[in-house]
């Protein structure tokens, strides 16, 4: 890939690769209750941008500069999509955000019931960890795979994504500060983006300095991504978003536009994006162009 690649087409290609891998990721021969399998696959195959798995594969290729690294990264790309999907199923539950639609489809609990939706999320999260060792069979060093498992448990767990979701639930308009909101967005969204980029970088054989720079890149694009979501919730097109706008307002959730205003929020997105791109440029990667273009794409999207 070179700098002239159409980033939207590239991401579609990544999504297609991931969706093919996802179809084979839950072995058909496993004795799983049919309703549970259906509920898991219903959300796993519901589409979406597949940004996180794309970042896994792109970071691996950026370090090593070869398409073989992308192929070796696919099991971990599937793992992060499993974790992301479980978090969305649980996030949509009545006890959480109480959403009826996700990506233009009825949410999991609306189709399968609350109990099955919870269990489907549990099963997706657990299976994610069984996918990571498969990368070793693709040539990823065992030490890198172990580090990826540890990263996932930290960045998706109590000190990461789950902690961010708790803080999000406890936040209220009029009480949450900008610093507290940053904590929510950094952990609820950025941490899984950090995992995606770091795991791909580990697969590609990144140096400690490259891991440091790519962690900064991921932190910033993850935060910018979530602020952009806050913005789109107010001014986005429902037909493109696949869900109703103003949901944050209706639930009295704290957002960046609520706290600092729309123009300041847009300016912050731009600043975070430029800092992320600077980190990539400083990292000395074999093929940085796609990571740079993804950073721009995430803040220019309309859904």
170 part of a folded domain: yes
124 part of a folded domain: yes
200 part of a folded domain: yes
CB of 277 within 8 A of CB of 37?
no
- The position carrying tokens 């939207």 is 8
Question: For 31-74, what is each residue's pLDDT tens digit?
Answer: 999 999 999 999 999 988 899 999 999 999 999 887 888 889 99
216 part of a folded domain: yes
CB of 70 within 8 A of CB of 61?
yes
**What is the tally of structural domains in the chain?**
1
CATH of the domain at 226: 1.10.600.10
Q: Inform me whether the pLDDT recorded for 240 exceeds 50.
A: no
Task: Mark 119-146 as b/e (b = at least 16 C-beta within 10 Å).
Answer: bbbebbbebbbebbbbbbebebeeebbe
Angstrom distance (rounded) from CA 157 to CA 139 = 27
Domain that holds residue 40: 7-298
2 part of a folded domain: no
Q: Inform me whether the pLDDT recorded for 197 exceeds 90.
A: yes
303 part of a folded domain: no
Question: For 19-29, what is each residue's pLDDT tens digit?
Answer: 999 999 999 99
166 part of a folded domain: yes
1 part of a folded domain: no
Q: What is the mean pLDDT of the chain?
A: 91
């Amino acid at each position: 890939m070179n700098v002239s690649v159409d980033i939207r087409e590239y991401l579609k290609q990544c999504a297609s690769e991931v969706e093919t891998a996802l179809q084979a990721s839950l072995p058909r021969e496993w004795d799983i209750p049919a309703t549970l399998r259906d509920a898991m696959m219903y959300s796993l195959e519901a589409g979406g941008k597949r940004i996180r798995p794309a970042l896994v594969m792109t970071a691996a290729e950026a370090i090593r500069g070869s398409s073989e690294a992308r192929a070796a990264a696919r099991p971990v790309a599937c793992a992060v999509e499993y974790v992301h999907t479980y978090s969305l199923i649980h996030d949509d539950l009545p006890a959480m955000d109480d959403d009826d639609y996700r990506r233009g489809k009825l949410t999991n609990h609306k189709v399968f019931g609350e109990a099955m939706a919870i269990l489907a999320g549990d099963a997706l999260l657990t299976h994610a960890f069984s996918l990571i060792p498969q990368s070793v069979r693709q040539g990823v060093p065992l030490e890198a795979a172990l580090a990826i498992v540890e990263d996932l448990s930290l960045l998706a767990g109590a000190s990461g994504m789950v902690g961010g979701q708790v803080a999000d639930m406890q936040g209220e308009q009029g009480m949450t500060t900008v610093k507290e909101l940053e904590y929510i967005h950094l952990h609820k969204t950025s941490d899984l983006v950090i995992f995606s980029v770091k795991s791909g970088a580990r697969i590609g054989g990144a140096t400690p300095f490259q891991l440091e720079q790519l962690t900064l890149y991921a932190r910033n694009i993850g935060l910018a991504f979530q602020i952009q979501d806050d913005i789109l919730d107010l001014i986005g097109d429902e037909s493109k978003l696949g869900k109703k706008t103003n949901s944050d307002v209706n639930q009295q959730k704290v957002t960046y536009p609520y706290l600092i205003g729309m123009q300041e929020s847009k300016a912050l997105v731009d600043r975070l994006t430029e800092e992320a791109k600077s980190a990539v440029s400083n990292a000395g990667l074999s093929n940085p162009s796609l990571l740079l273009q993804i950073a721009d794409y995430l803040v220019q999207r309309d859904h």
